[in-house]
Structure 1
Amino acid sequence: MTTIDPSYYLKNQATVKETSSSLGKDEFLKILMTQLQNQDPLNPMEDKEFISQMATFSSLEQMMQMTESINLLVNNQLISPVIQYSHLIGQQVTYYKIDEETGQIAEPKELETSIVQSVTHKEGYAVLQLENDAEIYTDEVQKIEQPSEKE
């Protein structure tokens, strides 16, 4: 008969409990429910106090949702523009021709089409390197499509 090593018993396992100094909505509700259950029946909590605590709870929940939204926004901003626009490689893009002297859209406005060969990063913005040797910022793209089959 084999024996089980006592170090595998649950009672011998170290328990790690993370403590937090912030009060979450679950803890807030537990405290509120405990308070309601244990209040003095001869001197119940006043409506004003209850409404005040519910308003506090509502504010807490809204702040937690706002924090999550801000964290998501910050994480999205941390994604490299090169990675963010890498799906455009091999795609055909249409854009307005840029006047090389002024850096503005050439007059008369002419659309050009080319295939994206690579994506680079310049001053925090994604720059598309095109098959026709043009370089354009992603916000200059007017249309994205699959490259047409050459016949």
Structure 2
Amino acid sequence: MIKKLKYAAAAAFAAIAPGAASALTFSGGPGTLSDGDTFLFTTSPADVGAIAFAPEGAGSITINILNDVGSNLRLAFDLVGNTLHGAVFTLDGTVFNPVVGTEFGAAISGLSTLVITYTGADAFDSIAFELAAVPLPAAAAMMLTALGGLALAKFRKS
């Protein structure tokens, strides 16, 4: 009888442990990242999708971001969907508040850390976002040079 109770207790623990671990379930596949993974600018873009299959307490998602190509690219963070309660987005210690459907951009040099902290996720609460490296806009000096060239060309025609 005691042996059966031990097996029942072990089975109950195995069933409850994933929910008690407070860990979202991340979708997998090509071009997707999970908690603790590193996003490289050379493998742009990458998707993150996670869902809570049972009610959870507080938790966090950490993505390392490595700019491995230089200063001509910046990070683009596009929040596709978020139903997590109390989600706080932090990039290298700076809090930002992305809006679903609006892209957030940041200059990244070297290694940066993106942390999303949430509280009280209900069953089937989820988050989805995309990380991409996008070219920096043209520098002001380049734009002024181009405008000067256009003015000179117009002056020569007259």
Scaled to the shorter chain, the TM-score interval is: under 0.3
Q: Which has the higher contact order (CA 8 A, sep 6+)?
A: 2
Is the strand fraction higher in 1 or 2? Answer: 2
Give the TM-score, by structure 2 length: 0.25
* TM-score using structure 1 length: 0.26
Structure 1 or 2: more helix by fraction: 1
